Structure 1
Amino acid sequence: MKTSTETAGLQRYSLNGPTMGSRYTALFYAAPGFATRDIADRLAQAVERVEQQMSSWNPTSDLNRLNSAPRHHWVSVPRELMNVITTALQVSEQSAGAFEIAVGELVQGWGFGPTARTLDQPALAELGRQRLAPASYALELEPRRHRLRKRAKLRLDLNGIAKGFGVDELARALEASGIRDYLVGIDGEMRARGSKPAGQPWTVALEKPLRGVRQVMGVMELGNAAIATSGDYRRWVEIAGQSYAHTLDPATGAPLDNRLASVSVVAANCMLADAWATALLVLGEVEGPRLAQERGMDALFVIRDGAQLREVSIVGGQLQAQIETR
């Protein structure tokens, strides 16, 4: 879909389409009558390529081909998928395992996967006790040859990083078309470059972490950077009358149980922002800000106290936002 408006002699173009169970958007300014057909095709192809490689929901994806492969069997994968897996392992190491992609069995068991079928509580407890091997141990990589193999039972899930990578691919598609100033996003994961006409900054809204409704918590400027948010409010399941958020704690094999409602991270690219938002959410309200500060990251932590959003912690000097949590 394309929409446009005129500003200072330039026309604002908005292209969007479906992807990853949501929609992507691309905003940029160009001369009136600018041909967008080729750009629209490039954007669609970019996100389709990410889904074909990294989707847990597509039975023919490269990710599921890897998941289905027997142990000790080398599997060739596309360069982009190898890049995402390599980055995921790096973030896992740097976060002491808080970010983990070897959680596919847990995601399925808790009802967050393609089958949407939740195991009964005894089966969930047993699954958690198994302490599945982390990807850093269970995978052997040969990045230069774009291949890898499993050394142990393993099912990967890239939902904590693939969407951010998809945003980066949208940015690359625009730049390949000669667009240098833009704002792209997929369901709240955003990346910006340059500015609007006359040097006006791109602005993005930060969502208040409330279930079932969408309200703006604050607005921030974003330039030559990306932002991603992970929280407990978008996807959840109910088991025996209790709700569980979709982010899983690799240490327990169960959904998170801490006071963090959401974490937003600003980084150079959206793949890193996406992965680190998940990692800091898993680490919790004490260790998350500590690690973010230690690594010099820009991160926003919103803490839930019952039904109220009581505290906001901003780490880093570049993340400037006007926040209202009441």
Structure 2
Amino acid sequence: MHRVVKIWLALGLAFFLTGCGQETVQSKPEIHITGSTMGTYYSIKVADDVIKDPAKFQAEVDVLLERVNDQMSTYRPDSELSRFNQSRDSKPVVVSRDTTRVVTEAIHIGRESQGALDVTVGPLVNLWGFGPDKKPTQIPSDELITQTRQKTGLGNLHVITSVDADTLQKDIPDLYIDLSAIAKGFGVDKVAEYLELLGSRNYLVEIGGELRIAGINGKGHPWRVAIEKPTVDAGSVQEVIIPGVNGVATSGDYRNYYELDGQRFSHTIDPRSGKPIQHRMVSVTVIHPSCMTADGLATAFMVMGPEKSLAYAKERGLAIFVITKTDDGFDESYSDGFKPYLVKK
């Protein structure tokens, strides 16, 4: 996912947004650490006094996130996921409980969304030039798309749990899992859960634009988050939200695309058709107690499009915010569940 949620912490904007028209309720020092993980950055702010040694805390966070990479990275040849992907038979591959947890949630969202999220879609992503393979010089034929789709499918992936071990199993040798649509959210949850284990109740955790938030900031006010306007120039704000105690994930396709033969191709591939999405939804933000679930749902909604996403959210009471491109600019719409989080203008 692309970073289309901005946390207005830099340049003092957070204090402008959170403090406008209000007096400081409580002032506490905020501990702020940043680092790199999963091919992107992380940022953690803690606004209570449970972190006595920030350097030691960061080292513990780095170990925790390194473990997630060792489990689910497709770039590390010896990760659990890479071992499964490299397997060419149907023998079960032993994985950690964390990997089982993420794959199980991905399968659940995939089934609930009727295949809109499919973590085995990698061969199709590569076919269209959004993976390690280069951009195609011609549009893939329907025959080639059909052949490539035969290497994918959640129905070919199985999670087996027991008291002895958790395993993943594949029905076809070419099946390949990529958890990039959900793993960052899981990493956010792991850090947040660790903070809560330490006793923190006031924090903001971000990995590459995916968030989990609780409590208040150092000024004594609820954390505020800006949803970015989907334009080429970064930094303009569409809406500001107060997420409460929740995870926040946003997916968008307005910066990652290419044009070929006069057509525009989005990096978001519909697993059901094997082709890039064609609708005009450019961004969707999901608020959910689990950042992992919000992350996966945001990807599914980008495939489903605005009408189906909003109907899905209404049926299940989910909080989502949708931005759609029109001939005159952008329209926004949101589910009833999202409305309480919007900052009134």
Query: Under a length normalisation based on structure 1, what TM-score does the superposition of the two structures give?
Result: 0.89
Aligned residues: 319
Q: Which amino acid aligns with 1:146?
A: D
Distance 2:72 2:183 in 1: 7
Q: Secondary structure at the match of 1:10?
A: coil
1:118 matched to 2:135? The reply is: yes
Checking the alignment, whether the CA contact within 8 Å between 1:39 and 1:174 is kept in structure 2 is no
1:10 matched to 2:31? The reply is: no
Specify whether residues 120 and 143 from structure 1 end up closer, same or farther in structure 2 by C-alpha distance, changes over 3 A only: farther
Distance 1:206 1:73 in 2: 44
Q: Would you identify which runs of 4 or more consecutive aligned residues in structure 1 move more than 6 Å?
A: none
Specify whether residues 75 and 166 from structure 1 end up closer, same or farther in structure 2 by C-alpha distance, changes over 3 A only: same
Which among 138, 143, 161 is matched to residue 143 of structure 1? Answer: 161
Q: Secondary structure at the match of 2:314?
A: helix
The equivalent residue for 2:150 is: 132
The equivalent residue for 1:94 is: 112
Q: Secondary structure at the match of 2:224?
A: strand
Give 1:270 deviation, angstroms. 0.3
Q: Which amino acid aligns with 2:157?
A: L
1:59 matched to 2:77? The reply is: yes
Q: Secondary structure at the match of 2:199?
A: coil
Give 1:103 deviation, angstroms. 0.4
CA deviation profile, 1:7-66 (whole Å, cap 9, x unmatched): 956211111111222211111123499311221012212222222222223333221211
Q: Secondary structure at the match of 1:149?
A: strand
Give 1:175 deviation, angstroms. 2.4
Q: Which amino acid aligns with 2:40?
A: S
Give 1:134 deviation, angstroms. 5.3
Which among 184, 203, 215 is matched to residue 194 of structure 1? Answer: 215
The equivalent residue for 1:171 is: 192
Q: Gapped runs of 5+ residues in structure 2?
A: 1-9, 13-23
Distance 1:219 1:128 in 2: 40
Q: Secondary structure at the match of 1:128?
A: helix
Percent identity of equivalent pairs = 35
Give 1:309 deviation, angstroms. 0.7
Checking the alignment, whether the CA contact within 8 Å between 1:55 and 1:63 is kept in structure 2 is yes
Give 1:172 deviation, angstroms. 2.1
Give 1:111 deviation, angstroms. 2.3
- Matches for 1:1-326 after TM superposition, within 5 Å: 8=26, 10-31=28-49, 34-113=52-131, 115-121=132-138, 123=140, 125-130=142-147, 131-132=149-150, 135-144=153-162, 145-152=165-172, 153-196=174-217, 199-240=220-261, 242-306=263-327, 308-317=329-338, 319-322=340-343
Checking the alignment, whether the CA contact within 8 Å between 1:232 and 1:247 is kept in structure 2 is yes
Give 1:232 deviation, angstroms. 1.0
Checking the alignment, whether the CA contact within 8 Å between 1:11 and 1:32 is kept in structure 2 is no
Distance 1:188 1:75 in 2: 32
Specify whether residues 39 and 321 from structure 1 end up closer, same or farther in structure 2 by C-alpha distance, changes over 3 A only: same
Q: Which amino acid aligns with 2:134?
A: R
Specify whether residues 323 and 89 from structure 1 end up closer, same or farther in structure 2 by C-alpha distance, changes over 3 A only: farther
More strand by share: 1
Distance 1:71 1:123 in 2: 28
Checking the alignment, whether the CA contact within 8 Å between 1:106 and 1:127 is kept in structure 2 is no
Q: Which amino acid aligns with 1:42?
A: E
Distance 2:38 2:67 in 1: 11
Checking the alignment, whether the CA contact within 8 Å between 2:28 and 2:219 is kept in structure 1 is no
Q: Which amino acid aligns with 1:117?
A: K
Distance 1:28 1:72 in 2: 45
Q: Which amino acid aligns with 2:282?
A: A
Query: Under a length normalisation based on structure 2, what TM-score does the superposition of the two structures give?
Result: 0.84
Distance 2:287 2:49 in 1: 31
Q: Secondary structure at the match of 1:157?
A: coil
The range that moved more, 161-170 or 7-16, is 7-16
